Amino acid sequence: MRAPLTANVAQLAGFDEVIDVRSPAEFAQDRIPSACNLPVLDDAERARVGTLYKQVSAFEARKVGAALVARNIAAHIERELLDRPKNWRPLVYCWRGGKRSASMAHVLREIGWAAASLEGGYRAYRRVVIEELENLPAQFRWRVLCGRTGSGKSHLLRALEAAGAQVLDLEALACHRGSILGDLPDSPQPAQRWFESRVRHRLAGFDAMLPVFVESESRRIGRISVPEALIESMRNGECLSVEAAVPQRVALLKEEYAHLVADPEILVGKLALLTSLHGRERIAAWQALARAGRMDDLVGALLDIHYDPTYGRSTRRNFSRLDTARGVPLTGIAHDDFADLARQLVAED
């Protein structure tokens, strides 16, 4: 029986590999999480063909585009695909399931591989992401880690995942720690759509019979927005209040923000962003502490004056079950301490 020429988003798991033939810029904005990028037109080539289409004619654009596409497909086969076995089943997609994916899939089928094109292309996949981000969050039992800044919530999330719990680490997916100091060195934030695809991919893999652990995030993590249905489901979840002493919190924050401790001038610049909230005199005093290397004093002041009041107001306003939260005290801040606490929480379910 001849293999089908097309498949839909629900059939993705039935293929050995997913190939995104859009340009690298399109791929960077968003893609199916399992896809590799083998563009039949790169960014410059796509712009060139588009300009010909608009300024000259569709016929001239198709001639130039066909030559470019043929060369690129040949190069991908030679460089990337020659080791694929005869029974390999790839799924190919482009923006809307048009000529780019059809061209690649046709050549692969002529070789003898059971290649198919994704019906509707990336746009069909994106519609599924939007729909599932609206519907999936309400299906899960959320356990929300609340706690003041530096109380080890992110450490505990990682320990929970290592212990086998279902964890949605939004800060990891957003490549940001969620505060004004939260940029990660050498890890720029993803595009909004790519963040949403990664969240949907995680949710789709969860078992609705088991709880999902998440941190008490705000609606924005850096420049990324958390999907509305997800934030509402989280805010209705069971709250666990992670409790740590101030010296523990200072130590954890110095560890998490080691790049700022190592380069105080970066920290000085970020502190300036708080001037409208705390005034120039206080910011200057904090900047002096940073330059003097008095990080314990600086972090303690930031917690007392900036982070704790802000977090307290925000969390009590947004998480309806915080008043009934069970306390989860840290006995220590070593790796084994978090691992032991995570195992205790997992055992409860």
Q: Which of 35, 211, 8, 33 is nearest to 121 (CA)?
A: 8
* Active site (annotated) includes residue 146: no
Residue ranges of domains in the chain, CATH in brackets: 6-130 (3.40.250.10), 136-347 (3.40.50)
Residue 2, pLDDT score = 67
Residue 1, pLDDT score = 54
Residue 312, pLDDT score = 78
In this structure, are residues 221 and 176 in contact, taking their beta carbons and an 8 Å threshold?
yes
Question: Which residues lie across from 334 on neighbouring strands?
Answer: none
Pairing state between β 116-118 and 90-93 = parallel
Q: What's the residue count for the chain?
A: 349
Structure tokens at 263: 């380069």
Give the active site residue among 94, 146, 175, 239: 94
Beta strands in 216-265 (DSSP E): 220-221, 224-225, 238-243
Q: In whole angstroms, give the CA distance from residue 230 to residue 328.
A: 24
Query: How would you write the pLDDT of the chain (349 residues) with one tens digit per residue?
Result: 567 899 999 999 999 999 999 999 999 999 999 999 999 999 999 999 999 999 999 999 999 999 999 999 999 999 999 999 999 999 999 999 899 999 999 999 999 999 999 999 999 999 999 999 999 999 999 999 999 999 999 999 999 999 999 999 999 999 988 777 777 777 889 999 999 999 999 999 999 999 999 999 989 999 999 999 999 999 999 999 999 999 999 999 999 888 888 889 999 999 999 999 999 999 999 999 999 999 999 999 999 999 898 887 888 888 888 888 999 999 999 999 999 999 999 998 7
